[in-house]
Amino acid sequence: MSGEGGRLGPWLRALRLAVGGEREPADAERATLRRLETAIGYRFRHRTLLVRALTHRSWANERGEDENFERLEFLGDSVLGLVASEWLFERHPDLPEGHLSRRRSQLVSMPVLAALGDELGLGAALRLGVGEERSGGRSKPSILADGLEALFGAVFVEAGLEASRRVVRPLLERGEALAVDLPSPDSKTRLQERVQAEGSELPDYRLVAEEGPDHEKRFTVECWVGGEPRARATERTKKMAEQRAAARTLRILEGGRRTPDG
């Protein structure tokens, strides 16, 4: 898979034509792409393949083109699933299948992938349409997660599975750490059930700060239990901040700590 010969040759040549040939990107774009390559630890030989992996549907639609990163995302999803399964199998030799499946689901979930994409600076490298750009698309979790999977797919197309492992495995290490701090969709429900079982008042979520322009708002929420602030979280929406604050409060209650910052 590393060369242009064989079955990938025609595909890569067609790809160059579809995204504008071998033109050199502008200096700013080239610097952004280089930073992203440095972050993932892989340098693309075919720059057009990297560009395709960063091209959102909105960018292609506004230019009347059909090609975007969705096919690479489809492939990258499978590559990620395989490498994550292999990594978990080796890392946790004593865990049964059910536990391994749950951990894999966490690792490849949209919140974890979006957080990884954000840390890698993926948002700045994406090609987005004007409308998507104005609506804050560079920080949308769904776009970041999809773009990261497309990036994995592009590495696999160009260099195969071993190169994909070298890119994905270090991110799985970081993803496992991130998954601990990311809220599950039912964190608020679980917290409510816990405090009710203990006879306490229902949790109270208080908005303590709202910052940033309309398209990049950040909301800080405190979770109060038993008349005390137990944890605080900042997110792009109030609902997400409440869920994260609830998740942190659950860990605090389990560990016996009390700190508004979680």
pLDDT digits (tens, 9 = 90+) for 54-69: 999 999 999 888 889 9
Q: Which CATH architecture best describes the domain 8-181?
A: Orthogonal Bundle (1.10)
Q: What is the pLDDT of residue 259?
A: 44
Q: What is the pLDDT of residue 9?
A: 56
Q: What stretches in the chain show pLDDT beneath 70?
A: 1-26, 180-185, 215, 255-262
Provide the token pair at 9.
Answer: 């040759």
Complete edge-to-edge strand list for the sheet that includes strand 218-225: 204-211, 218-225, 228-235
- Contact, 15 vs 48, CB < 8 A? yes
61 CB-contact burial (10 Å; exposed 0-12 / middle 13-18 / buried 19+): middle
Architecture of the domain whose range is 187-255: 2-Layer Sandwich (3.30)
CA nearest 49: which of 72, 79, 75? 72
Q: How far apart are CA 150 and CA 145, in angstroms?
A: 9
Reduce the DSSP state of residue 26 to 3 states and report it: coil
Q: Where in the chain is the domain with CATH 1.10.1520.10?
A: 8-181
Residues 227, 215 contacting (CB under 8 angstroms): no
Sequence ranges of the chain with CATH classification 3.30.160.20: 187-255
pLDDT of residue 215: 67
> How far is 237 from 221, CA to CA, in rounded Å?
10
The residue among 157, 153, 167 whose CA lies nearest residue 74 is: 153
Active site residues: 77, 149
Name which of 190, 181, 191, 175 is nearest 235 in CA terms.
181
Judging by DSSP bridges, how do beta strands 218-225 and 228-235 pair with one another? antiparallel
* Three-class DSSP category at 15: helix
Per-residue pLDDT, 197: 85
Q: Which of 68, 76, 207 is nearest to 151 (CA)?
A: 76
Q: What is the pLDDT of residue 74?
A: 96
Rounded to the nearest 10 degrees, how much is the dihedral formed by the CA atoms of 166, 80, 153, 116?
-80
pTM for this one?
0.68
Residue type (1 letter), 149: E
For residue 33, give both structure tokens.
């792409």
Give me 99's structure tokens. 């536990």
Tokens of 117: 């994409």
Per-residue model confidence as pLDDT tens digits over 221-250: 999 998 999 999 998 788 888 988 998 898
In Å, the largest CA–CA distance within the chain is 69
